[in-house]
Chain A
Amino acid sequence: MIEPSITRDSADGHFLQIKSIVKTYDDVVAVNDVSLDIAKGDIFALLGASGSGKSTLLRMLAGFETPNSGQIILDGEDIVSLEPYRRPINMMFQSYALFPHMTVEQNIAYGLKQDRMPKKMIADKVVQMLRLVHMEKFAKRKPEQLSGGQRQRVALARSLAKSPKLLLLDEPMGALDKKLRTRMQLEVVDILESVGVTCVMVTHDQEEAMTMANRIAIMEEGRIVQAGTPRDIYEAPNSLQAAEFIGSMNLFHGEICVDAEDHAVIDSQECANKLYVSYGVTTALDDKQVVFAVRPEKTMISREQPDSEYNWCRGMVHDIAYLGGHSIYHIRLDNGKILNSFMVNSDRFADAPTWEEQVYVYWSDDSGLVLRP
């Protein structure tokens, strides 16, 4: 579905530039010196918990809030002082905010009418938008006569009707139930890609962000913790915050004892054996405290003791959560620490370790990460 003219990882990373934006309410700093570059055609997700400042940032893009300082440059134009109704930006609201006194058609036409477009052109555009979201049959309905998924499509059509330079999605799946969500995520992405619009979305759901977006920024306490592709953020988190925000992590606090060019070894009180990473960690002498992190799905469980010098520990199966496709093992180490490990259930009735059994958890040399506490 991707149009050839749009290159996802384009070098033109400057379509939307957010430069040192600060927003405070009374004494509370909602957005603290945020800078981001978003390329044309990107679907960019701002991921964060409530109160992280992601919604405030989105509302500043839409123009409903004015930043205290900083610049927002869209396609070469600084839009900070532009009123919301003058910005070439449209938004799909979390509640959709479909006007209840207008039909689907009228809702989609509303923005076009504001531009004083000729009637004929409006009608054509509305038909085109209805076709895009597969809602042709519902043109004359009122929003109250639509289901949740249908409302979302109308809201999307309405916000795309004016062909905005930038589309904003505020918790796009927030008003849908879980089953519908998965379906609509893919459908919405399909529509967005077929139009090729640049898009910034806000969500608290990491799965949603990773499904829909090609770039993600994690926000916490008004700051960007990390920005990158979903894979970057998952596999190479740059900080403890980022690592803990997406997915789960097993963490060992320790101290670097070997710091070579191509590997490092960490000594942790929390693991009986030394921890090894297959890349160099440049550290200052007085800054040896680090955290070693390894994702649960990168660890393996065995009944036999691994013969490696590094990267394993012994424990008891404390708990097992059977989830069908895989099981999550909670292993209690001898020192009391609990490790998480995923085990893929590839055999229907395999002889897997069970409760209170002694096992060894181990992982390969290139699975671990070194993070700063």
Chain B
Amino acid sequence: MKTPVRFSAWMFWVGMAFLYLPMLSLIIYSFNESRLVTVWAGWSTKWYGELFRDEGLMSAVWRSLEVAFWSANAAVLLGVMASVALTRFGNFRGRSMLHSLVAAPLVMPDVIIGLSLLLLFVSMTDVIGWPQQRGLLTIWVAHATFCTAYATVVISSRLKELDRSYLEAAMDLGATPLKAFIQVTLPIIMPALVSAWLLSFTLSLDDVVIASFVSGPGATTLPIEVFSSVRLGVSPKINALATIIILIVSLVTLAVWWLSRRKLQREKLAK
């Protein structure tokens, strides 16, 4: 195995450098005193101050968090249902259709999803008078839709490998199917639900294209704000924002990793 491993090890670390160096440069330059990103003028945290004073950006952050929160909730709820249907109900009519509906958004280009949803909303307003105007609600619908696909992939892969006899044992002991699902299946697959939720949350928080199509006046999300400012060129405020995002994501990841490792070690210790 020597040759491929040595080569692949080399490639792996080159790839890692490729993935991480840009992020590193963002972090370093966020502490640059100078407005010109490329000239180093000493350490400073003034851009962080500017970032927090930028009310437009700050309110966009809250709007985005709100949309992401509710999108993730809807995606996990719909994802659990779709996963249960796909993995536990055998061959029902419409299974293949549901399967396609879940798989297709994973690869569908953003511009197509965005455009088609906008046209749907416009037609709906025309026909049934809802939604009266586009905004956070329509962004939520759009995000919930494509996040459902991702949530379903995560949850169904866990459900698939879950021993059926847990649910049967609960029913055997007198729990109705709904009770058994809530008291036994859901707690067991909770880690998968959490990762599906987090994935949906970050996907929603990250989307600029679809949100641009379906948002309305006054409903700009953070990515829309960032995009419009980035299109004009590099801005140190965005570097500061990026650093904060990277920090939060790294901390959450580290915490999740640490918790799961501790749980694993405890299990090992018990044996």
Contacts and interface: CB of A to CB of B under 8 A. Distances in A.
Interface in A139-157: 141-142, 144-145
B171 interface: yes
B188 A84 contact: no
Contacts of A97: 163, 165-166, 168-169
Contact of A114 (B166, B175, B188): B175
A93 B175 contact: no
B88 interface: no
B195 to A, nearest CB: 17
A63 B176 CA distance: 13
Contact of A100 (B174, B188, B271): B188
A207 B269 CA distance: 36
Contact of A84 (B165, B168, B270, B271): B168
A90 interface: yes
A179 interface: no
A91 B166 CA distance: 12
Interface in B219-270: 267, 270
Interface in A90-106: 90-91, 93-95, 97, 99-101
A62 B165 CA distance: 12
Interface range for B: 20 to 34
Contacts of B16: none
Nearest to B167: A97
B interface: dominant SS: helix
B172 A114 contact: no
Nearest to B168: A64
Contacts of A111: 173-174
A287 interface: no
Interface in B147-190: 163, 165-166, 168-177, 179-180, 183-184, 187-188
A245 B163 CA distance: 31
A114 B165 contact: no
A145 B271 CA distance: 6
B270 A115 contact: no
A97 B171 CA distance: 12
A85 B177 CA distance: 8
Interface in A55-81: 62-64
A162 B174 contact: yes
Interface residues of A, number: 28
A95 B172 contact: no
Contacts of B179: 114
A110 interface: yes
Nearest to B176: A85
Contact of B173 (A64, A101, A145, A162): A162
Nearest to B166: A97
Nearest to B263: A144
A54 interface: no
Contacts of B173: 85, 90, 110-111, 114, 158-159, 162
A210 B171 CA distance: 30
A145 B165 CA distance: 20
B184 A85 contact: no
A101 to B, nearest CB: 4
Nearest to A99: B184
B169 A93 contact: yes
A100 B163 CA distance: 12
Nearest to B267: A144
Nearest to B177: A85
Given A144-B270, A145-B270, A114 B168 contact: no
A159 B176 CA distance: 17
A242 B168 CA distance: 33
B40 to A, nearest CB: 53
B170 A91 contact: no
B162 to A, nearest CB: 11
B184 A93 contact: no
What 7 A-B pairs have minimum CB-CB distances, sorted nearest first? A111-B173, A114-B174, A145-B270, A97-B169, A97-B165, A101-B187, A93-B165
27 contacts: A62-B172, A63-B171, A83-B171, A84-B168, A84-B172, A85-B172, A85-B173, A85-B177, A86-B174, A89-B172, A91-B169, A93-B165, A93-B169, A97-B166, A99-B170, A99-B188, A101-B188, A110-B170, A111-B174, A114-B175, A114-B179, A115-B174, A144-B270, A145-B267, A145-B270, A159-B172, A159-B173
Interface of B: 163, 165-166, 168-177, 179-180, 183-184, 187-188, 267, 270-271
Given A85-B175, A99-B188, 14 more contacts: A84-B172, A85-B171, A85-B174, A85-B177, A93-B168, A93-B169, A95-B165, A97-B163, A97-B165, A97-B166, A110-B173, A111-B173, A144-B267, A159-B172
Interface of A: 62-64, 83-86, 89-91, 93-95, 97, 99-101, 110-111, 114-115, 141-142, 144-145, 158-159, 162
